[in-house]
Structure 1
Amino acid sequence: MAHDIVFFLAPDDAAATATRLRGPGAACESVTCHSIEPDSAIAEWDMFFEEPSAEAPLLEQLRGWAWPEWVTAPLNDGVEVFALPKRLTRALANATPAELEELAGRWTTRLWSEDGDDMTDDDLLAVLQGVARLAASAVNTGGGLYSWSL
């Protein structure tokens, strides 16, 4: 099931956990996208930087990748809060415009193959560029990059 996701900065896991009930809110620097699975997006981005390839990963490859860690235990309300891996945060912070374009193209290809006409209307390159800016802030401040979704 696809979710609406807010990628946001937080100083630490405790601060990210505090967003669980109401979301990150306007006080947090954030980027929002719609109709995306947060854990598979994070895993795909991580896979792109760790094992570069222009080809979108097969679903089996993606499922076999290390998935992001929960910041809060999952409950039945549908809210998910994940911490992006530190290595992915660093990779996004240091990504070149060309790398972000390549990743956006690969991500779009995978989502289109899975969702077709039901794919998100978000500009995925703009989402990645925004998340990369958040990642740079996280690296510079010593904080973390998180996703909150419902």
Structure 2
Amino acid sequence: MSTVIKFFVAPDHEAAAGVAEGGPDGVFESLTFGNFDVEEALIEWESIFTGRSFEEVLDDDVPETVADPDDGEGPLVLAVSRTLQAALSAAGKDRLAEVSQMWVAERAAEGEVFDPEIAVWILSGLANVTRTIGEEAEGLYCWVA
């Protein structure tokens, strides 16, 4: 099964939810990735960046589901937490590489093989996008289909 993951910046939850059915293409610029469990990755990334356990981050109900029109049977939109956005935005090249290595190691412990270079590419791309987010209500979102 193939998964399409598109991260995009939107002004608010309502605007992000508006692309649930068709995706952000043509509405918002997006970064496209595929074939990993993005919900789990968002929790793992926040856990690694903050030093909190996976369970502690999960208890904060992140990532927040902004739109799930088909009750888990179709595309959905997730909001990336402000904590993770801030960590990505503040991370330099070395920190992104370190977090990427830790994430790849976590995936390996679960029996999943993930290319370390792709992990750095994903987190670096997201860090660059988060640095464009304004101080107001804009946020980073993820469309998954």
User: Do these two structures clear the TM 0.5 threshold for a shared fold by scoring above it?
Assistant: yes
Equivalent pair of 2:104/2:115 in contact (CA under 8 Å): no
1:48 paired with 2:45, answer: no
Distance across 2 between alignment mates of 1:73 and 1:18? 11
CA separation of 1:139 and 1:98: change in aligned 2, threshold 3 A: farther
Counterpart residue number, 1:83: 79
CA separation of 1:115 and 1:2: change in aligned 2, threshold 3 A: farther
Counterpart residue number, 2:38: 38
Distance across 2 between alignment mates of 1:68 and 1:39? 7
Equivalent pair of 1:83/1:147 in contact (CA under 8 Å): yes
1:114 paired with 2:110, answer: yes
* SS at 1:138 equivalent: coil
1:72-96 deviations in Å (ceiling 9; x for gaps): 1462433221101112111111111
* SS at 2:110 equivalent: helix
Q: Structure 2-normalised TM-score? A: 0.83
Distance across 2 between alignment mates of 1:128 and 1:76? 26
Farther-moved stretch of structure 1 (74-83 vs 12-21) = 74-83
Distance across 2 between alignment mates of 1:139 and 1:47? 24
Instruction: Give unmatched runs, 5+ long, in structure 2.
Output: none
> Considering only aligned residues, what root-mean-square deviation do their CA atoms show, in Å?
2.5
CA separation of 1:90 and 1:64: change in aligned 2, threshold 3 A: closer
Aligned counterparts, 1:1-150, within 5 A = 3-51=3-51, 61-66=53-58, 67-73=62-68, 75-116=71-112, 119=114, 123-139=118-134, 142-150=137-145
Equivalent pair of 2:68/2:75 in contact (CA under 8 Å): no
1:54-88 deviations in Å (ceiling 9; x for gaps): xxxxxxx5355323111014624332211011121
Structure possessing the higher relative contact order (Cα contacts under 8 Å, 6 or more residues apart): 1
Percent of residue pairs identical: 28
Instruction: Give unmatched runs, 5+ long, in structure 1.
Output: 53-60
